[in-house]
Structure 1
Amino acid sequence: MQRPIMTSRSFLRTPSEPAEPSDEAAMQDLVDTLEANRSRCVGMAANMIGVGKRIIAFVDEDLGGRVTVMLNPVITASDGAFDTQEGCLSLAGERRTLRYRRIEVDYEDRRFRARHATFTGWTAQIIQHEVDHCNGIII
């Protein structure tokens, strides 16, 4: 089910709680909302739809544009810092931020199986933005 986009800065600044198996509906709502906004958005965190859980969804160009869901993502390594400008559906305009060209992420898949993966380029940038959301950091 598509949900409205959260714009409350106080809510968005609150770090999210760990995702649990009972959050399946929130996972699907996040994917549905991302798909509905795909023309102007490439990633979302659950707090952007009013759910304070560590769930992110993003368009993975390395997988042909498929939407990937990560639960409880943690960036464990990064390198290749660069300055960039980013926008966000929850905020008006763009803001300057620091990102990394390569990241490693520990996360759980939708079946709560532990995963570790390396991402580069645009996909890495999207994941960093959404993990920041989970941590209560908004650009």
Structure 2
Amino acid sequence: MIREIMRDTFFLHQKSISATPLDKPIAMDLLDTLKAHADECVGMAANMIGVVKCIIAVNLGPVNMVMFNPKITKQKGPYKTAEGCLSLTGQRNTQRYKKIEVEFQDMDFQKQKLTFNGFPAQIIQHEIDHLQGILI
């Protein structure tokens, strides 16, 4: 189901709580909503659709990927950039890392560890910030 985008910054500043297998329907809504906004958005966190759970969805080119309870375990190559956000107006300056390692659970709640570089790494960092209540 496509959900409305949350724009209330008080709500968005809340830290998300751990996701469980019972939260898979939220992940499906997140994917549907990301797909519906594909022309203006490359990633979403669950709080962007009004759910304070540790779930993100990111566009990795030909496929959208869901991560439950993602955590960045390594980061390398800091750089400054400007980002926009579907929940906010305009662009803001921030610092990101060129290369990150992320531990998360997949749709089957199997533990995964992957390395991301460049723009996919930037998207994931932005969405994980959302889970911590950090807005750019």
Give distance in 2, aligned partners of 1:12 and 1:69.
19
Give aligned-pair identity as a percent: 51
**Matched position secondary structure for 1:110:** coil
Tell me how far 1:34 sits from its aligned partner: 0.1
Counterpart in the other structure of 1:41: 41
Superposed displacement of residue 24, structure 1: 1.4
After superposition, residues 98-109 of structure 1 pair within 5 angstroms as 98-109=95-106
Q: Is the partner of 1:91 in helix, strand or coil?
A: coil
Partner of 2:58: 58
Aligned to 2:128: 131
Q: Distance in 2 between matches of 1:112 and 1:10?
A: 30
- TM norm structure 2: 0.99
Report the alpha carbon displacement of residue 49 of structure 1 after superposing the two structures with TM: 0.1
Superposition deviation, residue 25 in structure 1: 1.1
2:105 and 2:21 map into 1 onto residues whose CA distance is 11
- How large is the RMSD of aligned CA atoms in angstroms? 0.5
Structure 2 match to 1:15:
15
Which one of the candidate residues 114, 119, 122 is aligned to 1:122? 119
1:32 aligns with 2:32: yes
TM superposition shift of 1:125: 0.2
Which amino acid is 2:42 matched to?
V
Where 1:44 maps in the other structure, the secondary structure is strand
Query: Helix, strand or coil: the match of 1:79?
Result: strand
| CA–CA separation in structure 2 for the residues paired with 1:22 and 1:116 | 22
Counterpart secondary structure, 1:92? coil
Residue type at the aligned position of 2:30: L
Aligned counterparts of 1:81 and 1:100: Cα–Cα separation in 2: 4
Counterpart amino acid of residue 76 in structure 2: D
Q: What is the alpha-carbon distance in structure 2 between the residues aligned to residue 98 and residue 19 of structure 1?
A: 27
Under a length normalisation based on structure 1, what TM-score does the superposition of the two structures give? 0.97
SS in 2 for 1:133: helix
CA distance in 2 between counterparts of 1:107 and 1:23 reads 14
Q: Distance in 2 between matches of 1:23 and 1:68?
A: 15
